[in-house]
Chain A
């Protein structure tokens, strides 16, 4: 969906706006793998778990980004989201970050994300997300940063189609925008596509839902760096 997630709901809200986790109807677990720019050895592995309860929805997310034996950026987080009434949801997450470069450095940091979503009667959602509140980092002597940004998004359902758009205000790289579209065919197959600006990227993917299983595949196309494919496998309880 072009990385436009601020106004979407579901398990993938653990990677964007935590308030969207409140829309998770059944407990779900996902594991994902992304290969960055195909010809490199840079990869991301991720695992997501979401459990709705009468108190609210709880989530756990773990993610590792880097290159084997050379660079590892690990993140583990705990999220909580709750729906208030029929229209308003609130979410937050606390994250632990660890950066490890063998023989060079090892550093850690904590960060927090918050998000809200407002649901209109006809199904569209407006979402606001603040990631890494307070711009926490690994310290002045480490050049790596934990991205801090505010993102406002809008999603709009149209029968089998969902349109989503985000505007991100980043503390380091200025404004960025995302536009995504998802199209469900017969409740089994979902086609997704999107466009990001700053940096310019195109996205395309699909998802298959079969009984309790979900399989998603997508790729991001960067005009200069090439293709970053990713896959995810999920189970909905």
Chain B
């Protein structure tokens, strides 16, 4: 038995994972909330970097978890192993079809070739001694006082807790086979061992995960995430979708995984298991959660909720009142069948609430979900054949509509790949856990076609282009008519292996929203055009120092209003010696962005697992500095200071978050102990 428990990162490891996380998530984040939590993904990438995936052992599922390895390549890899016998070295990957230079570079830190270990052969004492424990605590705080903390009048909305943020996580792992995860979080403004949070932290999450034990492929007790098909019916956690990685439109069904992220919404709580029965895999699951919602009581005493909470924040009396206001039960099962390179899955599940959901009686909500129970079913498949990967899903809301999609990723030539994706989500389809490729806010009321192309004329150059055309047949939030849109993107990347990386990108987006004209009896929709030009560069000066630059322009124009042009430029310095106690990085950015409309997002380095994609708007300067200090092999400490200094403003932010002055600064301290 050999268990490899490396306790140091390979050189440049953090930078490699950072680059991947940024590449995988950038467009997903741009279309979502600013504080989107990426720690689950980062967690997995760091884990597999420390405990590389054994190419001779994997059934492909660990490779899927990495999030960037196309299914077509995984199938080719398994085929190769089947035909040519066990891998002797990772370099053998190069003979497998579908591997381009970029994929090889990305994959190498996460794979290895070694001997096997089995949990069944291990005693409890050995489990505790050989397994790895990790305890991490993070403290953060905004230095300036926000308005919500200064209000003492109890009749007004205000923050009930302190501005301190606290996050504690514990991990226990035994190889890939057993994992225990606990997360505890208190957001800024939430009480701690007081008020509604008398039990301490506002958010607790935990799971025990067992893998590969005879018939039981995966077992999770506690918080878990399910990802099936292409996400039309059930997909917890992050979905990548459109972006610079064209093959990313094909989602990788990872099935059941423990939930280890600190996001308070995107998971299920209870128990689930995947049982292998010959070529079939069956995953029954059950979840029971308390969710946030604004309760209202009708004159006849009937209770209802108009919408479910989307933030997980419980800072003000209103947020506290909505906390855990509604109970949700989810139960169902997935059956999965695999025959060589063909896979098919069948999913059905039922969602029930103790209080009915009644959205506001608006025309745009005509097809929205209302009631206290929902039953969804879905069938999905994928098939790979030589250089072609086909995938599709058809999902149904019982008593409502359908959502269907069909996609294709094909290698037309050794240097050229094509991706196509057609979607048709009916307006009366709905699922609480869908995350399919969509230009709108969810899997409903949308039809679209996506086509993308990637060309690698050499190992150094990559050119990608995609076009996505879509229509929304029914009204949407702030769009009082059927509407349509376009999303085009092209990017040219030049990579000078291990030394430098340069890319130029253009993105054009057309959407429609209500025109800002009030003198008409009815609303008109206006075209909104957003254009982005981004130049990005990274170069390694030597084994210790890396520099990174970006210059970005954004142009916003809504019909009938003045156009807005914004720019942003930053310079990063990254210090990462091969050995040594200290490492760190810093950024200085300047930006001039007329308003929120022309806003930009930029990925920021943070303390480990603390990824952030803040939004830049108005005029000002952004700076941050992160430092990490290692104490032997067991302990690490991270420090971060980040600040926004705006020009020509007296107040930063709005509402209870408003800060007097022109500056907002945050500090973070994080400690990790591994034993």
Contact = CB atoms under 8 A, between A and B. Distances in A.
Given A200-B510, A221-B469, A223-B469, A158 B451 contact: no
B416 A221 contact: no
Contact of B488 (A193, A197, A224): A197
Given A200-B469, A223-B469, A195 B451 contact: yes
Contacts of B453: 181
A158 B415 contact: yes
Q: Could you tell me the dominant secondary structure of chain B's interface residues?
A: strand
Contact of B413 (A160, A197, A200): A160
B465 A223 contact: no
B486 A161 contact: no
Contact of A159 (B413, B455, B465, B485): B413
Interface residues of A, number: 16
B484 A195 contact: no
B412 A202 contact: no
A224 B451 CA distance: 18
Interface in A198-237: 200, 202, 221, 223-224
Contacts of B415: 158
Contacts of B44: none
Contact of A202 (B465, B469, B508, B510): B469
A205 to B, nearest CB: 13
Interface in A170-207: 179, 181, 183, 193, 195, 197, 200, 202
A193 B451 contact: yes
Contacts of A163: 416, 455
B397 interface: no
A223 B451 contact: no
A202 B413 contact: no
A160 B449 contact: no
Contacts of A223: 469-471, 484-486
A224 B484 contact: yes
B525 to A, nearest CB: 12
Most buried by A among B412, B418, B510: B412
Interface string B234-277: 00000000000000000000000000000000000000000000
B70 interface: no
A57 B415 CA distance: 35
B257 to A, nearest CB: 36
B161 interface: no
B206 to A, nearest CB: 47
B467 interface: yes
Contact of B412 (A160, A179, A195, A221): A160
Nearest to A159: B413
A179 B412 CA distance: 16
Nearest to B488: A197
A95 B486 CA distance: 36
Nearest to B484: A223
Interface string B596-619: 000000000000000000000000
A161 B416 CA distance: 9
Interface in A137-161: 158-161
Nearest to A194: B451
B44 to A, nearest CB: 35
Given A160-B412, A224-B484, A181 B418 contact: yes
B416 A158 contact: yes
A174 to B, nearest CB: 15
Interface in B399-452: 412-416, 418, 420, 449, 451
B413 A161 contact: yes
A200 B412 contact: no
Contacts of A159: 413-414
A160 B414 CA distance: 11
16 contacts: A158-B412, A161-B412, A161-B413, A181-B453, A183-B418, A193-B420, A193-B451, A195-B451, A197-B488, A200-B486, A200-B488, A202-B449, A202-B451, A202-B467, A223-B469, A223-B485
Interface of B: 412-416, 418, 420, 449, 451, 453, 455, 465, 467, 469-471, 484-486, 488, 508, 510
Given A183-B412, A223-B469, 12 more contacts: A158-B412, A158-B416, A161-B413, A163-B416, A195-B465, A197-B488, A200-B469, A200-B486, A200-B510, A202-B449, A223-B470, A223-B486
Interface of A: 158-161, 163, 179, 181, 183, 193, 195, 197, 200, 202, 221, 223-224
Please give me the 10 A-B residue pairs with the lowest Cβ-Cβ distance, nearest first: A223-B484, A195-B467, A158-B413, A161-B412, A200-B486, A159-B413, A161-B413, A223-B469, A183-B412, A202-B469
